[in-house]
Amino acid sequence: MSVDFKEYARRMDKALDHLNEEFGAVRAGRANAKVLDRITVEYYGSETPLNGVATISTPDARTLVVQPWDTKILKDIQKAIQSSDLGINPQNDGRVIRLVFPQLTEERRKELAKQVRKYAEESKVAMRNIRRDGMDYVKKLKKNSEITEDDQKKAEKDLQELLDKNIKRVDAALADKEKELMSI
C-alpha cells in the first residue's frame, strides 16, 4: 500500500503561493500594482480592497496612478495609502492619486533583501511543519498496522523528497526576488 500525499503537496503549494504574495508586496524600485493589494478603503460602510473601488495603472516604470470610480473617496484612498507601510506619499490632483516610487538606495535594497530572506525562511519552516504532520500520519498508520515497515520507510522518503523539491522552489523564488531587488 502506498500513502497518498496529495494533501501535503497541496499545503506546500499554498505555502509557496503565500510566499509569492509576500514577495509581490515588497517593492523593488519599480511600480507594481501588487504593492496596493493589501490596502483597503472604507466604501459605503465596509472595508473594500483598493482595486475594488479604483483602476490602478502604471504609466511608467516608477509611477502608479489610482483612479477611483467615485471621486468622493479620493481622500479616503489617500489616507489609506498614507497609513499603510508603503512609505510613499500619495499626490492627489482632485481626479487621480499618483504614487511615485523613488529609486532605492543601496541600504534600502539590503534591508529589503533581508526581509525577503526572512519570508523565504518562514515559508521553509511552514513546509517542514507540513512534512512533520505527514510523518506523524505515516507513524500513526504504522502503529495501527495499516502499513508495513517498508511502506513506512518509503512514505517517509517520499515525504522528504516532496519537501526537498519545494525547498528548491522557495530558493529559486528567493534568488529571483533578490536579483530583482539588487538590479538598478
Per residue in 132-169, pLDDT (tens digit) is 999 999 999 989 988 888 988 999 999 999 999 999 99
- For residue 136, give the amino acid letter: D
CA proximity to 41, closest of 30, 29, 54, 27? 54
Q: Same structural domain for residues 81 and 117?
A: no
Q: Same structural domain for residues 129 and 152?
A: yes
Q: Which domain holds residue 174?
A: 6-24+105-182
Distance, in Å, from the CA atom of 162 to the CA atom of 134, rounded to the nearest integer, reads 11
Per residue in 75-134, pLDDT (tens digit) is 888 888 888 777 778 888 888 888 887 777 888 788 888 989 999 999 999 999 999 999
Cell of 127: 513546509
Q: Same structural domain for residues 50 and 34?
A: yes
- Number of separate domains in the chain: 2
Per residue in 28-71, pLDDT (tens digit) is 666 777 777 788 888 888 888 888 888 888 888 778 888 888 88
Q: CB–CB of 167/15 below 8 Å?
A: no
CA proximity to 130, closest of 169, 95, 166, 92? 166
Q: Same structural domain for residues 129 and 164?
A: yes
From 44, 66, 100, the end of a domain falls on 100
